[in-house]
Amino acid sequence: MLSVSLWLIGMLSNTQSVHFIGICGTAMASVAVALQERGVNVTGSDANVYPPMSTFLAERGIEVRSGYCETNLSDAPDLVVIGNAISRGNLEAEAVLERKLRYCSLPELLKETFILGKRSIVIAGTHGKTTTTALLAWVFDHNGMNPSYLIGGIPNNFSQGARFTNSEWFIIEGDEYDTAFFDKRSKFVHYLPEVAVINNLEFDHADIFNNLAEIQLSFSRFINLIPRNGLLAVNGDDENIEPLIESPPCPLRRFGMGSDNNLCANDLKFSIEGSRFSVGDCEFSVPVCGEFNVRNALAVLTVARYCGLDDAAIQSAFNSFRGIKRRMEVRGEESGVTVIDDFAHHPTAIREALKALRAQYPDRRLWAVFEPRTNTTRRSVLQRELARAFVDADFVVVAGVAKLEQIPEGEQLDAAKLLDDLRSTARGAKYLPNVSAIVAHIANVSVAGDVVCVMSNGGFGGIHEKLLAALKA
């Protein structure tokens, strides 16, 4: 990739047009807007155009072409950024190769044009990356440090998910998923970490990793990039991280609930207002609920202290943190029923989200509406864990498995078995094939006071607004 990096460094100073293939990914859209703000003419295409990213791009005047075709490149852009969801056979990607247009991956673009020379803080781990990155960016911004950042979502404290400033700090969400069809390394190896956080580590991304050991290898390579004057901050309670930190190349700090961590949280309390906890003699609070959000806050506390902020400055920022779209986001309330949108799709994330909601709403009936959509949850590899993830829900609705035909028959999620297993824990569990059936069922059966949490990493057919409309009717 050296040759691409060399021309990228010089080229972007006079680049006038960039086209993004797969622009509706959260990171892709955020970088597209940031480039437009620098005066670059930005266009993009995607097969899945839905809120919040479609709305985000439209509000900023960026043209999004629905579907992929060669004519989207008729203007011959100076550079094409190819998203990691794009495979060989994609009509635009094939046209880029045939016409020998300049192209790169998004992580490579970020490294060479925005991160190089900065003090990079990379937030990694299977869960909690977006919330932790947004919270840390807000702590820095609230205290006048004006960081550059890239967040895989839309943080409510900022107008968009990416910003590029003249500050020495760059805070970025580091994903272990592969970079592009032409670069199979994990994205985070491009991000030049001075400080790295690993919040947790589990098996995920079953389409590119065969087992946990392969994921651990990728994280080991990431750790190897941290300089000896940097910092590695890890969840000290996660046994899957331990083999990776036996002899780290840099200083190490552990955070968690266990007493042997450098930062240990005690006296956890949860309410509708959020979470409270103590570290030593200091008490902290964050306006987001759940044990997993306490861990996110501990990670931020570890890094912020390392970077020179005191506890009062950190807590001041915590007080005004407003969360992220699609992370336990209340979308509305109709007829006394609260509808919540959450990005949870891995069994652990589902379990922790429902556990947090149970703490927030202890006396209300809790619905979980889940769309098996990712390359992992459409497979049977985590079938048992998925069945156990809904233990805190009173009612569970599982939607039709998205594009199940793409998964080999022996590897497919068994929806019937999942439903049987769920009925042993939840008072009501149903498999409903589409959004219309789900909306009709909940509108007919729910009662005032119910909380409905919709969990998907996609648009889910606009189910949130449809459900609120049906409840109102």
SS3 annotation, the chain: CHHHHHHHHHHCCCCCEEEEECCCCHHHHHHHHHHHHCCCEEEEEECCCCCCHHHHHHHCCCEEEECCCHHHHCCCCCEEEECCCCCCCCHHHHHHHHHCCCEEEHHHHHHHHHHCCCEEEEEECCCCHHHHHHHHHHHHHHCCCCCEEECCCCECCCCCCEECCCCCEEEEECCCCEEECCEEEEHHHHCCEEEEEECCCCCCCCCCCCCHHHHHHHHHHHHCCCCCCCEEEEECCCCCCHHHCCCCCCCEEEEECCCCCCEEEEEEEEECCEEEEEECCEEEEECCCCHHHHHHHHHHHHHHHHCCCCHHHHHHHHHCCCCECCCCEEEEEECCEEEEEECCCCHHHHHHHHHHHHHHCCCCCEEEEECCCCCCCCEHHHHHHHHHCCCCCCEEEEECCCCHHHCCHHHECCHHHHHHHHCCCCCEEEEECCHHHHHHHHHHHCCCCCEEEEECCCCHHHHHHHHHHHHHC
Of 262, 332, 338, 333, which Cα lies nearest the Cα of 298?
262
Are the CB atoms for 64 and 54 separated by under 8 Å? yes
Are the CB atoms for 277 and 269 separated by under 8 Å? yes
Of 388, 348, 391, which Cα lies nearest the Cα of 125?
348
Cα separation of 415 and 322, whole Å?
36
What's the Rg (C-alpha) of the chain? Answer: 22
Instruction: Give the N- to C-terminal CA distance of the chain in Å, as an integer.
Output: 56
CATH number of the 2-105 domain:
3.40.50.720
Give residues with Cβ within 8 angstroms of 259, minimum separation 6.
Answer: none
The whole-number pLDDT of residue 125 equals 93
Please, what are the averages of pLDDT over each run of 10 residues along the chain (473 residues)?
45 80 89 88 89 84 92 93 95 96 95 93 93 97 96 86 92 94 95 97 84 94 97 96 94 95 94 90 92 94 97 97 84 92 87 89 92 85 85 90 83 84 77 92 92 89 92 89
Domain ranges for the chain, please list them: 2-105, 117-319, 329-472
Are the CB atoms for 266 and 278 separated by under 8 Å? yes
The whole-number pLDDT of residue 468 equals 94
Ramachandran region of residue 118, left (φ > 0), alpha (ψ -120 to 50) or beta?
A: beta
Cα separation of 386 and 150, whole Å?
30
CATH superfamily of 329-472: Mur ligase, C-terminal domain (3.90.190.20)
Cα separation of 437 and 346, whole Å?
24
Find the length of the chain.
473
Cα separation of 436 and 274, whole Å?
33
Cα separation of 254 and 124, whole Å?
14
Are the CB atoms for 280 and 266 separated by under 8 Å? no
CATH class of 117-319: alpha beta
231 DSSP β-pair partners: 195
CA dist list (Å): 322 to 33, 225, 248, 262, 441: 22, 32, 35, 28, 32
The whole-number pLDDT of residue 13 equals 62
Cis bond upstream, residue 52 (ω within 30): yes
The whole-number pLDDT of residue 426 equals 63
219 DSSP β-pair partners: none
What is the widest separation between alpha-carbon atoms in the chain?
Answer: 63
Neighbours of 220 (CB within 10 A): 12
